[in-house]
Amino acid sequence: MGLRKFKPVTPGTRFRVGADFSEITATKPEKSLVVSSKKSGGRNNTGKMTMRYMGGGHKKSYRLIDFKRDKFDIPATVATVEYDPNRTARIALLHYADGEKRYIIAPEGLQVGQKVVSGDTATPEVGNTLKLANIPLGSIVHNIEIQPGRGAQLARSAGAYAQLAARDGKYATVKMPSGEVRSILTTCLATIGAVSNSDHANEVLGKAGRKRWLGRRPRTRPVAMNPVDHPMGGGEGRSSGGQPRSRNGVYSKGFKTRTLKKYSNRFIIEKRKK
């Protein structure tokens, strides 16, 4: 798993740095785990644009990912490691002993042919899923649940991981990828290891067209707009005075938008680093 720097044979490849896909072992997904995916183009049910700068892009099929890992004590063999167009991480196809097939987020270092298992009897090895109560302190984990049985919601993108720091009663203290330290119930599941494709952050698209292939349209700078379109628009020449803000007038630097009475505030021990 690494990066590939392209020779500057065209303007688009001059600065391009892409993944080498060396860890990919299959090019076609498992048919039974693929469903069609429809694009909205940023439009709502009446056809009105509600999100700007979305649209186009290559057609994609959605791979059904098992975020719950609720087949307890049934061993599974890693059949393939695949590319998923819907996420930054790689995915792995598991063949369970009872014949069922499921996709999971592939952790760093997961190999084809390796055995993985989830449940209380699982050992704390890469790819295995356990309750936070059974994971050794100091372990690197990903795919963490916030509520038991709801499925993994934390540390799911490429290269992300959290660290289990401590346990106190029915709560475990986990240091999040953002630097935030929060309490999570020890009955929540987490998977051992870090998420695969950690080099994703170092990729360079190389040209605007590749952004279009991903479904992103060009973003217009607010300063280049007219006063009717944005609070930062208008003015003579290249004037860009005032405080940076959104189209609705919400300040974009330093202004706190988190709800003061948010229910999860009591679980946060230390806020994320600024």
Specify whether 84 is located in the same domain as 188. Answer: yes
Report the run of H or E that residue 210 belongs to, with start and end: helix 208-213
252 with 178, same domain: the answer is: no
189 and 233 housed in the same domain: no
Residues linked to residue 4 through DSSP beta bridges, in sequence order? 18
Q: Does the residue 58 lie in any domain?
A: yes
Quote the CA–CA distance of 211 and 59 in Å, as a whole number.
14
- Specify if 93 maps to a domain: yes
Distance CA(112)–CA(25), nearest Å, equals 8
- DSSP lists the bridge partners of residue 131 as 189
The full length of the chain comes to: 274
Shared-domain flag, residues 184 and 73:
yes
- Tokens 């599941």 locate to 189
What is the full per-residue pLDDT of the chain (274 aa) written as tens digits?
689 999 999 999 999 999 999 999 999 999 999 999 999 999 999 999 999 999 999 999 999 999 999 999 999 999 999 999 999 999 999 999 999 999 999 999 999 999 999 999 999 999 999 999 999 999 999 999 999 999 999 999 999 999 999 999 999 999 999 999 999 999 999 999 999 999 999 999 999 999 999 999 999 999 999 999 999 999 998 887 789 999 999 999 999 999 999 999 999 999 987 6
In a domain, 55, yes or no: yes
Same domain, 194 and 256: no
Q: Give the domain-ending residue among 150, 167, 201.
A: 201
Specify the number of domains making up the chain.
2
Helix (H, G, I), strand (E, B) or coil at 271: coil
Query: How much is the pTM?
Result: 0.91
- Calpha distance 89→109 (Å, rounded): 13
Examine the domain organization and report whether 38 and 79 are in the same domain: yes
Q: Are residues 71 and 160 in the same domain?
A: yes
Whether residue 63 contacts residue 84, with contact meaning beta carbons closer than 8 Å, is answered with yes
Segment 89-95 long-range contacts (CB within 8 Å, at least 24 positions apart): 89/156, 89/157, 89/158, 89/195, 89/196, 89/197, 89/200, 90/23, 90/24, 90/196, 90/197, 91/63, 91/65, 92/127, 93/26, 93/30, 93/33, 94/66
Residues 150 and 251 reside in one and the same domain: no
CA distance 126 to 45: 43
Structural domain boundaries enclosing 14: 3-201
Does residue 273 sit within a domain?
no
Classify 260 as helix, strand or coil. Answer: coil
Among 157, 186, 201, the domain-final residue is 201
Do residue 156 and residue 250 come from a single domain?
A: no
What CATH number corresponds to the domain at position 20? Answer: 2.40.50.140
State the Cα angle at 175 between 169 and 180, rounded to 5°. Answer: 110
Per-residue confidence (pLDDT) for residue 1, from 0 to 100: 66
Distance between CA atoms of residues 141 and 87, nearest Å: 19
Does 207 reside within a domain?
Answer: no
Q: Of 201, 217, 245, at which residue does a domain stop? A: 201
Residue 190 in any domain: the answer is yes
Q: What are residue 208's phi and psi, to 5 degrees? A: -65, -30
My answer on whether 52 and 102 are in the same domain is yes
Question: Both 252 and 174 in a single domain?
Answer: no
Say how many Å lie between the first and final Cα of the chain, rounded: 31
Nearest residue to 105 (alpha-carbon basis) of 158, 61, 29: 158
Q: Is 144 part of a structural domain of the chain?
A: yes
Same domain, 157 and 231: no
pLDDT score for 30: 96
Q: Is residue 61 in some structural domain?
A: yes
- Residue 41 half-sphere exposure, CB side, CA atoms within 13 Å? 8
Secondary structure class of 145 (helix, strand, coil): strand
